[in-house]
Amino acid sequence: MLIDDAHRYIALRRALGFKLEKAARHLDAFTRHAVANGDSHIRNATALAWTAAVSSTPGGRYQRLQEIADFARFLHAEDAAHEIPQHRRHYRPCVRPAPYIYTSDELARMLHAAANLRRQKPSPLRQHVHAMLIGLLAATGLRVSEALNLRLGDLLPDGMLHIRQTKFNKSRLVPMHPSVSAELDAYLRVRATVAGVDDHVFLTVGGRPMGLGAVHAAFHVVLKKAGIAPDRPRRPRIHDLRHTFATRALARCAMRREDVARDFVALSTYLGHGHIRYTYWYLEATPDLMGDIAAAAEMLAAEVIV
């Protein structure tokens, strides 16, 4: 039965390390629809009709159709009666928005604004939480979700963070600058005076784990108080702190031919990227940086010719 086959497929992929949270929901919904439609095998027509009905965007339809195609290949190896949807003909390139790269002055203003947020009863932690969170993201390039998932046990000796099972099902160690470790220690001392039994590093009112909604709401207030890009049609995001970290790290990369690849691999590992192409994207997203590295590459090429 297709529904059981979908559960079996997801269980096998998860045993190989994939999370597939959205894919599991999508395939469960699709196979239930297909069975209700009278299908005993995956049919291209059913897949196309279902994806068109459940998603209003080309990107959403392509994603669901790709998930069905991967599932269909798995079943096709066992039974050639399963049809594999030709999902690639529906491909639409994903246009990633250009990141906002914060200046050093803007980061300082944001930290000051966060440290002066209005206190909320019954928790006096609001100012400390958001100032520490923004500072940590800017100084380490962590994803917001990674920072919010930090537990006290993940704070290792010698200023090391243990980032567990994140976006690409990877864990990694992230070193912090001594100044960041000192600020984190000061934050933890304040946290210890008001926190309850929850061991998340970042807590909200009532000692509960901080959620993304609360973070984004406070961040918008911080941007406004700090006067960051007030006339920009698209507001800067908290995720742009990660882009800023990566861009500044790349700008400091050595330009010697034998060092460039090493530096890229090191940064890719530090950021927890699943593939180094995601690290290279920061060059595309920052034309000035791309120009600097292109100029350095031309110099290297000239040295070889000479």
pTM of the model: 0.67
- Give the pLDDT of residue 89: 66
List Cα–Cα distances, 181 to 132, 170, 188, in angstroms: 11, 23, 10
Q: What is the DSSP letter of 238?
A: T
Q: Which of 26, 109, 200, 242 is catalytic?
A: 242
- 104-226 is a CATH 3.20.20.330 domain: no
Closest by CA position to 92, among listed 52, 60, 136: 60
Contacting residues for 53 by C-beta, under 8 A, at least 6 apart: none
E strand or H helix that includes residue 155: strand 155-156
Judged by DSSP in three states, 232 sits in coil
Pairing of strands 172-175, 155-156: unpaired
**What percent of the chain has pLDDT above 70?**
75
pLDDT tens for each residue of the chain, 306 residues long = 899 999 999 999 888 777 788 899 999 999 999 999 999 999 999 999 999 888 878 778 888 999 999 999 999 999 999 999 887 766 666 666 778 889 999 999 999 999 998 766 555 788 899 999 999 999 998 989 999 999 999 999 999 999 886 665 678 888 999 999 999 999 999 888 877 788 999 988 777 888 888 899 999 999 999 999 988 888 899 999 988 888 777 767 655 555 655 666 666 666 776 665 666 666 665 666 656 655 555 555 555 444
Task: List pLDDT tens digits, range 69-122.
Answer: 999 999 999 999 999 988 776 666 666 677 888 999 999 999 999 999 876 655
Q: Is 224 annotated as catalytic?
A: no
Q: Which of 8, 32, 88, 167 is catalytic?
A: 167
**What percent of the chain has pLDDT above 90?**
45
Per the CB < 8 A criterion, the answer to whether 187 and 132 are in contact is yes
Q: Is 273 annotated as catalytic?
A: yes
Residue with tokens 């030709």: 86
Q: Which of 62, 100, 270, 282 is catalytic?
A: 282
Q: Is 170 annotated as catalytic?
A: no
Q: Which of 26, 87, 126, 143 is catalytic?
A: 143
Domain boundaries, the chain: 2-90, 104-226, 240-305
Q: Is 143 annotated as catalytic?
A: yes
**How far is C-alpha 29 from the geometric centre of its chain's CA atoms?**
26
E strand or H helix that includes residue 175: strand 172-175
Contacting residues for 103 by C-beta, under 8 A, at least 6 apart: none
**How far is C-alpha 234 from the geometric centre of its chain's CA atoms?**
19
| Alpha-carbon Rg for the chain in angstroms | 24
Q: Which of 41, 239, 248, 257 is catalytic?
A: 239
